[in-house]
């Protein structure tokens, strides 16, 4: 019996031996669903990290936290990891063409898809929904959703301050505070500042800070209890990111030769108004109206070198992308009063979602001494209605049926005078059967359908008039993608609560899957990217999360994922037949193993190993990463209000690829093709002091 089937079989057998009372269930509430259910009673593969979980691995950014999730990966190509893959599905970059991410990002309910998460300091919790979640989240959740909730206001004053210093001239200062300002008004404020020289040495400029980190994040929440039935809320976010970007080396290491290092700048402001009303007899009303404005400036030294490196062969290009984004979103829903578990009773949700997103792009490219400019605008309007019912067929068996219908309209225009529009209606659905064997054991089976919108290949259109790129006239648009997911899962805990486990097995059918293609006619510096549709794809596997309290002093955590992915019929424009190959950024195995060991009442040790197998970097070539194992250690000393911790991440100092390309870019070897990689952080050593008040 194979590993994946053995794991599921053992989990099912163990579930039938679980017996305990409800109070022994692990009490982690999933905040991103329609209703806040206990994690062990949610039908679907959802993983949650609390602030304590992130502290265990000394996580300072989303990149660090994502290493702990089964069947989750990410790609950088910027100063931070910005593009997320779940179960092998997800984008790896965004240049000219506007992409709709397969994995969305919500922070306090505000849509940050494509922008990433700048700080995870002092969160309420971080949730990963794996598998299509169209009913709940719409087009941004083809593969899943990342949901970050910041600290909620409390009516009992509380706060925490943390300060960290680490190698590479790094430091972080963060804190949060929550308190009432009146009997019915409370606030929470979270602030975080991080700075680092980064992990790159630029030998040409004799600098060690060309890939630096300089980020500030502020999140504020205000809660107003207007009446016993009406609660109002205000959320405000500020992000100011002034990072450098100088990550790729011609020598394929951490030493660069660029004379014009890039940058990765983001300024984002967001505001949300929330309403919750429980005064109706049959349903509660929840609503959120949000606004986000973001300006980014992302660029890089395209030749990765300097003038004079190889006279007669060299070229000197610089690429820069300035983006503006303004969006409004409204999510308004009715959630029925709980009907209970009696036979025939049905809980239901009915909602409406609308969004308006205006995106502007200016690409400024210097080719030798020639300045080139491309500009485009895209206005996207989304309108959807959704609903879900949960019917108690018996006291233990529930049927869940949900669906969403979404209509989107795109209006595109660019400096070349090209004007296109697109108007499509898409749909998603979910049907699950959930059997609550006892208060601590759930078995479920579900089928769900997800989707994401198509779009327009602006870069292809801008170059199609050039003779060598004439083939791009056939690449003006790319079609929507859909996926069907079949899943079986088991969740359970032992009678004494010492063992908690969750296992899910899944099989996903992708149709018209969107893949990134490139055309480089003469293998020189002129190339063009576009999004294409492969015929189909298959993604299947298993994921497991287990927590075991061995004794009063020792806790052990094991998360593991096994993934098989296949491209359908697909031949690249350069003639490479990738039919049947693994999909990009889809490692077959990944895992996170950790332990908390209480050595004394004050002294504790946390240790973890996070690993993944090798994976392909792209759906356009066969370059692969190496497998990796990251060893993380943390020793902490706890006093009533103070904590002092010494920590090490990537203790073995492995070079871990987080983005990769295969082409020629080195004039010193006449542009022979190589695998060029951006590496994640090397060995990090730091000290953190925290004060609770």
What pLDDT is stored for residue 465 in this prediction? 67
Residue 17 has pLDDT above 50, yes or no: no
Percent of the chain with pLDDT over 70: 94
CA distance linking residue 330 with residue 318, whole number of Å: 39
Percent of the chain with pLDDT over 90: 75
Residue 351 has pLDDT above 90, yes or no: yes
What pLDDT is stored for residue 340 in this prediction? 60
E-state strands within 520-623:
528-533, 536-549, 554-567, 589-598, 603-612
The encoded tokens of residue 622 equal 């066969």
- Listed range (332-346, 437-451, 491-505) with the worst mean pLDDT: 332-346
Do residues 40 and 670 make contact, with C-beta atoms less than 8 angstroms apart?
no
Pick the more confident residue, 213 or 528. Answer: 213
Domains and CATH numbers, the chain: 3-692 (2.40.170.20)
CA distance linking residue 381 with residue 386, whole number of Å: 17
pTM over cut 0.85: yes
Residue 12 has pLDDT above 50, yes or no: no
**Residue range 15-22: average pLDDT?**
40
Across 5-14, 15-24, 86-95, the highest mean pLDDT is recorded for 86-95
Q: What is the pLDDT of residues 615-657, one digit of tens each?
A: 999 988 899 999 999 999 999 999 999 999 999 999 999 999 9
Residue 230 has pLDDT above 90, yes or no: yes
- Listed range (63-77, 453-467, 539-553) with the worst mean pLDDT: 453-467
How deeply is 388 buried, as exposed, middle or buried, from its count of CB atoms within 10 A (0-12, 13-18, 19+)? Answer: buried
Q: Any idea which residue has 């979640």 for tokens?
A: 133
Residue 22 has pLDDT above 50, yes or no: no
Residue 276 has pLDDT above 50, yes or no: yes
Task: Kindly write down the DSSP assignment for every residue of 597-636, as one continuous string.
Answer: EE-SSSEEEEEEEEEE---BS-SSS--B---EEEEEEEEE
User: Which distant-in-sequence residues (6+ apart) come within 8 Å of 181 by Cβ?
Assistant: 187
Alpha helices in 383-530 (DSSP H): 458-463
Q: What is the pLDDT of residues 537-573, one digit of tens each?
A: 999 999 999 999 999 999 999 999 999 999 888 887 7
Across 174-188, 461-475, 520-534, the highest mean pLDDT is recorded for 174-188
**Within the chain, what is the greatest distance between any pair of CA atoms?**
81
What pLDDT is stored for residue 1 in this prediction? 43
At 9, the pLDDT band (50, 70, 90 cuts) reads very low
For residue 556, which of 591, 596, 592 has the smallest C-alpha distance? 596
What pLDDT is stored for residue 522 in this prediction? 62
The encoded tokens of residue 113 equal 């898809």
At 524, the pLDDT band (50, 70, 90 cuts) reads low
**Residue range 141-149: average pLDDT?**
96
User: Which distant-in-sequence residues (6+ apart) come within 8 Å of 317 by Cβ?
Assistant: 302, 303, 365, 366, 367, 368, 525
CA distance linking residue 384 with residue 388, whole number of Å: 14
User: Which distant-in-sequence residues (6+ apart) come within 8 Å of 303 by Cβ?
Assistant: 258, 314, 315, 316, 317, 525, 665
The encoded tokens of residue 403 equal 């669906």
Pick the more confident residue, 589 or 458. Answer: 589
At 107, the pLDDT band (50, 70, 90 cuts) reads very high
At 588, the pLDDT band (50, 70, 90 cuts) reads very high
H or E element at residue 677: strand 674-679
Q: What is the pLDDT of residues 400-459, one digit of tens each?
A: 999 999 999 999 998 888 888 889 999 999 999 999 998 889 999 999 999 999 888 877
- Grouping H, G, I as helix, E, B as strand and the rest as coil, residue 578 is coil
CA distance linking residue 192 with residue 296, whole number of Å: 20
Residue 315 has pLDDT above 80, yes or no: yes
**Residue range 357-382: average pLDDT?**
94
Do residues 48 and 125 make contact, with C-beta atoms less than 8 angstroms apart?
yes
**Residue range 520-532: average pLDDT?**
71
Return left, alpha or beta for 417; rule: phi > 0 is left, psi -120 to 50 is alpha, else beta.
left
- Listed range (82-86, 186-190, 572-576) with the worst mean pLDDT: 572-576
**Residue range 244-269: average pLDDT?**
97
What pLDDT is stored for residue 656 in this prediction? 95
Question: How far does CA 270 lie from the centroid of its chain?
Answer: 19
CA distance linking residue 591 with residue 72, whole number of Å: 10
For residue 689, which of 50, 58, 54, 216 has the smallest C-alpha distance? 58
CA distance linking residue 538 with residue 639, whole number of Å: 52
């Amino acid at each position: 019996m194979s590993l994946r089937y053995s794991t599921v079989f053992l989990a099912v057998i163990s579930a039938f031996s679980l017996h305990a009372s409800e109070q022994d269930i692990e009490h982690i509430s999933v905040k991103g669903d329609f209703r806040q259910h206990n994690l062990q009673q949610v039908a679907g593969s959802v993983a949650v990290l609390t602030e304590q979980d992130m502290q265990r691995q000394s996580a300072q950014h989303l990149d660090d936290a994502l290493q702990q999730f089964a069947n989750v990966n990410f790609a950088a190509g910027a100063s931070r990891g910005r593009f997320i893959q779940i179960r092998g599905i997800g984008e790896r970059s965004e240049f000219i063409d506007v992409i709709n991410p397969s994995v969305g990002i919500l922070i306090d309910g505000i849509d940050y898809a494509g922008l990433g998460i700048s700080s995870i300091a002092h969160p309420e919790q971080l949730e990963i929904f794996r598998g299509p979640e169209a009913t709940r989240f719409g087009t941004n959740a083809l593969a899943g959703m990342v949901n970050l909730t910041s600290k909620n206001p409390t009516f009992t004053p509380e706060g925490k301050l943390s300060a960290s210093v680490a190698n590479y001239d790094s430091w972080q200062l963060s804190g949060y505070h929550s308190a009432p300002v009146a009997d019915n008004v409370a606030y929470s404020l979270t602030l975080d500042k991080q700075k680092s020289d980064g992990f790159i040495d630029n030998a040409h400029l004799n600098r060690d800070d060309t890939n630096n980190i300089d980020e500030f994040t502020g999140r504020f929440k205000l809660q107003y209890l207007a009446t016993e039935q009406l609660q109002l809320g205000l959320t405000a976010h500020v992000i100011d990111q002034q990072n450098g970007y100088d990550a790729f080396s011609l020598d394929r290491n951490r030493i660069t030769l660029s004379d014009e290092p890039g940058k990765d700048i983001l300024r984002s402001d967001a505001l949300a108004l929330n309403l919750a009303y429980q005064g109706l007899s049959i349903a509660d009303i929840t609503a959120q109206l949000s606004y986000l404005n973001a300006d980014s400036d992302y660029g890089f030294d395209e030749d990765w070198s300097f003038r004079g490196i190889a006279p007669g062969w060299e070229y000197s290009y610089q690429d820069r992308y300035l983006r503006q984004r303004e969006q409004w979103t409204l999510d308004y829903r009715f959630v029925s009063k709980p009907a209970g578990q009696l036979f025939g009773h049905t809980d239901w949700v009915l909602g409406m979602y609308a969004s308006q997103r205006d995106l502007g792009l200016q690409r400024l490219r210097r080719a030798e001494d020639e300045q080139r400019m491309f500009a485009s605008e895209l206005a996207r309007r989304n309108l959807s209605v959704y609903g879900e019912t949960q019917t108690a067929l018996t006291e233990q068996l529930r049927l869940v049926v949900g669906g969403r219908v979404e209509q989107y309209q795109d209006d595109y225009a660019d400096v070349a005078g090209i004007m296109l529009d697109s108007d499509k209606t898409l749909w998603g659905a979910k049907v699950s059967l959930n059997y609550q064997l006892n208060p601590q054991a759930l078995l479920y089976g579900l089928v769900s359908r997800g989707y994401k919108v198509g779009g327009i290949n602006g870069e292809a259109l801008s170059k199609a008039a050039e003779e060598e790129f004439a083939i791009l006239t056939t690449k003006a648009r790319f079609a929507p993608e859909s996926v069907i997911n079949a899943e079986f899962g088991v969740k359970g805990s032992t009678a004494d609560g010492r063992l908690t486990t969750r296992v899910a097995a899944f099989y996903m059918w992708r149709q018209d899957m969107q893949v990134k293609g490139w055309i480089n006619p003469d293998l020189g510096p002129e190339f063009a990217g576009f999004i294409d549709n492969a015929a189909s794809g298959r993604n299947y596997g298993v994921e497991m999360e287990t927590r075991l309290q061995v004794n009063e002093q020792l806790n052990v955590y094991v998360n593991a994922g096994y993934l098989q992915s296949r491209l359908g019929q697909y031949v690249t424009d350069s003639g490479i037949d990738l039919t049947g190959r693994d999909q990009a950024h889809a490692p077959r195995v990944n895992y996170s193993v950790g332990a908390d060991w209480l050595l004394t009442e004050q002294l504790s040790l946390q240790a973890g190993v996070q690993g993944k197998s090798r994976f392909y970097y792209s759906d356009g070539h066969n370059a692969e990463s190496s497998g990796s194992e990251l060893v993380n250690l943390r020793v902490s000393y706890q006093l009533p209000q103070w904590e002092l911790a010494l920590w090490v991440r990537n203790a073995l100092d492995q070079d871990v690829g987080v983005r990769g390309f295969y082409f020629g870019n080195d004039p010193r070897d006449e542009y022979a093709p190589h695998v060029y990689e951006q590496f994640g952080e090397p060995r990090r050593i730091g000290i953190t002091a925290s004060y609770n008040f």
